[in-house]
């Protein structure tokens, strides 16, 4: 929850390739103020609704926030369970050795005290989009 001197952050992930929330994605939260170095504040994992409901609070003086989403493990687990369903899909020929094109997604944004920032991630195996939600 934000206060007059701090901002707050929440996020969720929708896997647009299947039209469902992405469960079990590890998310870390880092912050910095002014010209300081990044400070890792902690992390969480998305629940069955694709949400991280327990991200740590931002310290006073935070000016920038970084959310890191570890999506490779999520897509690798999906590949194992959906291999038969995707028989006709193009091969992952343009992906890395693991078959995952984007192994992680890092989103950095500016914050001001007193505001809440909800940052949804729309994810698919070959692209992603983010926006400031409400």
Q: For residue range 27-79, what is the model confidence (pLDDT) as tens digits?
A: 999 999 988 899 999 999 999 999 998 999 999 999 999 999 999 999 998 77
Q: Is 86 exposed, middle or buried (0-12, 13-18, 19+ CB in 10 A)?
A: middle
pLDDT at 84: 46
Mean pLDDT, range 97-111, rounded to an integer = 88
Please tell me the pTM assigned to this model. Answer: 0.84
**d(C-alpha 5, C-alpha 113), whole Å:** 5
**d(C-alpha 103, C-alpha 9), whole Å:** 23
Task: Answer whether 78's CB lies under 8 Å from 44's CB.
Answer: no
pLDDT at 80: 53
pLDDT at 98: 61
DSSP 51: E
Residue 129 scores a pLDDT above 90: yes
């Amino acid at each position: 929850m934000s206060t007059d001197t701090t901002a707050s952050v929440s996020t969720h992930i929708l896997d647009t390739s299947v039209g469902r929330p992405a469960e079990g994605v590890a998310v870390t939260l880092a912050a910095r103020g002014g010209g300081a170095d990044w400070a890792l504040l902690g992390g969480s994992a998305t629940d069955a609704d694709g949400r991280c409901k327990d991200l740590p609070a931002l310290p006073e003086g935070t000016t920038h926030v970084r959310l890191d989403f570890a999506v490779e493990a999520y897509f690798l687990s999906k590949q194992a369970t959906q291999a038969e369903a995707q028989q006709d899909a193009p091969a992952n020929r343009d992906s890395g050795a693991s078959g995952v094109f984007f192994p992680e997604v890092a989103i950095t944004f500016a914050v001001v005290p007193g505001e809440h920032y909800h940052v949804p991630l729309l994810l698919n195996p070959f692209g992603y989009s983010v926006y400031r939600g409400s």
